Amino acid sequence: MRRPVIVRRAAIIATSIISLVPAARSGHELPVYPSYYPHEIEIARVDASAASRLISDGKMHAYVGPIAEFAAGRPDAINAVASLGSMLIIKLNPNSALANDQGSACAAVASILRGFRERTGELIIHPYPVTPLHGDYLYHADLAEAAGRRLTQDYVPLGGLKVRPEGARSQSLIAPDMLAKGDEWDAAVEEVEVSTLVSGASVASNGWLGPRWVRMGWFHAYRLLAKTLDDAGQRERVEAEVARLMAGSYENALERINLERDLVKSLTSRCRALPAGYTLKREYLNGEFSAGVENVGYDALEGLHSPMFLRTVKLKDFPWNGWLQLGIGTPAQAAWNPVAGFSDDFGRLMWFAIGDPAVMPSPYDANWIVNRFAGLEATPP
């Protein structure tokens, strides 16, 4: 475990507070408290193997990221939050005879999915790239249901398939008689962490987080499947649709929604590469009274690694402020500056604490919400 970094909010933003908040005189406190901000936040690099013990012992309030199992079972006071963790994709071998025909390709994918249903474990079968955890899922719900019916009911299972796993979770899902043992394989199963889908497209600069489409299901589908397209016409159509969405080249919300649906249809129109489903990422925090935390908000896509968590978490033994102790599994590697730095997981978490942006991503969609106060117009009863 490396030496922790302590974010002393009082010292860092004291000048801003003095300039923005009027002084409280005669011992009276201010009538409005902006937030439950802890006045000191400790972010420590902690191995996942030690995190469960530290949380159980009350030496850490929360761990940002997955952790090892609790040795003696999870205590009642330890709470879990779930967010989108990873997506599994089935990719046919372009050299396999099954990839030459649409019918045989879809039958192969359907057969692999049927095998997954018997060995799902933590996998949620969902053969569509926009999941219920995406804010724009309602725009795709009918397409997702149709994709599930088509791949589970319309094709006769194939025998003799050889499937190559890419990763430990993939290997646990494939039946032993389907595992490819050599260079000959019909399909591969790859697990893709959702965070890696958008890491190269996200921008964090001077407190601004974006662009807004990095949180959209259609963009995740594009990052997941675009690289698998082997048809030039299909690739050109997909890139044109993405360019229109990014440029806002549509007349109204209805046209935008239809364009997003058409994009995902283009990405999933052939069975040579399709999603198999998704997994949930579970993160843990101490909810013990009075040494734990409460009032915790988190993000459906990023879990505790989000501004929403640090803007809402409240320590139980303090009505406000206090000392918040967090752990994270990745070390600090990026530069520490607000313009081009804070781009790794550690740095972004620290910048969430001290950047204090005026608006932040909504926890369930791609919209923005006001960080502290909103102007509301009173209406007569």
One-letter-per-residue 3-state SS of 302-363: CECCCHHHHHHCEECCCCCCCEEEEEECCCCCCCCCCCCCCCCHHHHHHHHHHHCCCEEECC
In a domain, 9, yes or no: yes
Contact 336, 330 (CB under 8 A): no
Q: Both 97 and 243 in a single domain? A: yes
Domain that holds residue 365: 5-20+33-77+291-369
> What pLDDT does residue 100 have?
86
375 within some domain: no
Same domain, residue pair 130 and 42: no
Determine the Cα–Cα distance for residues 205 and 152; give it in Å rounded to an integer: 45
- Please indicate, yes or no, whether residues 170 and 263 belong to a single structural domain of this protein: yes
User: 304 lies in a domain?
Assistant: yes
Which residue bears the tokens 């590469």? 273
pLDDT in tens, the chain (381 residues): 555 666 554 443 333 333 344 443 444 444 444 455 678 899 999 998 899 999 999 999 999 998 888 877 899 999 999 999 999 999 999 988 888 888 899 999 999 988 887 776 789 999 999 999 999 999 999 999 999 888 877 777 788 899 999 988 888 888 888 899 888 899 999 999 998 887 777 776 666 677 889 889 999 999 999 999 988 999 999 999 999 999 999 999 999 999 999 999 999 998 899 999 999 999 999 999 888 999 899 999 999 998 889 888 888 887 767 889 999 998 898 888 877 778 888 988 888 888 777 778 888 877 888 876 666 666 766
Q: Which two tokens stand for residue 311?
A: 């803007």
Judge if 91 and 57 occupy the same domain. no
Q: What is the chain's length? A: 381
* Residues sharing a CB contact under 8 Å with residue 270, sequence separation 6 or more, in sequence order: 102, 105, 231, 234
In this prediction, residue 12 carries a pLDDT of: 37
The single-letter code of the amino acid at 106 is: C
Tell me the CA distances in angstroms from 301 to 283, 328, 331, one per residue in order.
12, 17, 22
What predicted TM-score, i.e. pTM, was given to this entire model? 0.84
Question: Is the domain of 259 the same as that of 113?
Answer: yes
Give how many domains the chain has, as a whole number.
2
CATH code at position 194 = 3.10.105
Q: Are residues 63 and 171 in the same domain?
A: no
- Picking from 238, 259, 279, the residue at the C-terminal end of a domain is 279
For residue 284, is it within any domain?
Answer: no
Domain boundary among 228, 251, 279: 279
CA torsion, ordered 144, 149, 151, 152, to nearest 10 deg: 130
Q: Residue 337: its pLDDT value, please?
A: 80
Sort residue 332 into left (φ over 0), alpha (ψ -120 to 50) or beta: beta
Domain closes at, from 225, 248, 279:
279
Count the Cβ atoms, other than its own, within 10 Å of residue 61: 27
pLDDT value of position 335: 86
Same domain, 266 and 314: no
For residue 70, the 8-state DSSP code is P
Smallest CA-to-CA distance from 94 within 237, 265, 224, 231 is with: 231
Same domain, 246 and 124: yes
